[in-house]
Amino acid sequence: MTRPLVGITAYAEPARWGVWDTRAVLIPEAYVRMVREAGARPVVLPPDDLGGPADAAALVGRLDGLVLAGGADIGPARYGAVAHPTTKMRPDRDAGELTVLAAALDADLPVLGVCRGMQLLAVAGGGTLVQHLPDLLGDERHQPAPGVYGVHRARFAPGSRAAALFGPTAEVNSYHHQAVDKPGTLTVTGWADDDVVEALEDPGRRFVLGVQWHPEEAGDVRPFAALVAAI
């Protein structure tokens, strides 16, 4: 049987390998590995405005699921805010990912958002973000040092998809300095032990789940398998 196709949104960043030093479209291999282990075929989606909604709908028509990967901050103009000094934006990703996400939601395609991807789900649903958590919390526990994941407990709402996947509580690995403030049309179903939002979902859709941590880096295939199971 043909494996389902799952698109993974990608970065466009300066990169070096071998003799080359150039911009590259790339994605951490862990996302690809998790999608494969979940039983699907990964398709990398570079930042692209897709020429508008019609092209996005055509792309989504060829996919069976969508993973919104982590990465840089979402432009605060997207949710009516002024940029914080620490906010680092990638307008090309915002434009492309919001366009393809809108088409995916219109088609009721299963969607999993990871870290930035969860925040993108909130913004697409009319929500807002906290731009710099240390201003709110007084510490950097969710992003303790460059390239170092914070580890903490999270709790999940009884009866939610998140609780069905991860149990009532779980230890999670975080690397983010922004967080969901208002979830818009989505439902908050997970919280860190300091009440930072850790999971969002849309119970009215086939599968729309966002997680603020990085299950792919922990080798946790469960959210990716749930995405594929919903196809």
- Bridge partners of 6? 42, 65
Compute the Cα dihedral for 188, 53, 45, 13 and give only its sign: negative
pLDDT reported for residue 141 = 86
> Of 37, 177, 216, 217, which is the active-site residue?
216
**Selection from 164, 202, 223 nearest residue 31 by Cα:** 223
Helix 91-106 with 116-124: angle, nearest 10 deg: 60
Tell me the C-alpha distance between 6 and 103, whole Å.
14
Closest by alpha carbon to 65, among 194, 181, 206, 188? 206
Residues 79 and 127: their CA atoms lie apart, in Å, by 7
Candidate list 142, 176, 177, 214, residue with the active-site label: 214
Find the catalytic residue in 13, 29, 115, 201: 115
Q: How many CB atoms lie within 10 A of CB 147?
A: 7
The CA angle 34-104-29, to the nearest 5 degrees, is 20
The answer to whether 214 is a known catalytic residue is yes
User: Could you read off the pLDDT tens digit of each residue along the chain, which spans 231 residues?
Assistant: 689 999 999 999 999 999 999 999 999 999 999 999 999 999 999 988 667 788 899 999 999 999 999 999 999 999 999 999 999 999 999 999 999 999 999 999 999 999 999 999 999 999 999 999 999 888 888 998 999 999 999 999 999 999 999 999 999 999 999 999 999 999 999 999 999 999 999 999 999 999 999 999 999 999 999 999 999
Model pLDDT, residue 49: 66
Q: Distance (Å, rounded) from C-alpha 31 to C-alpha 20?
A: 24
Active site residue 201: no
pTM over 0.75: yes
Active site includes 176? Answer: no
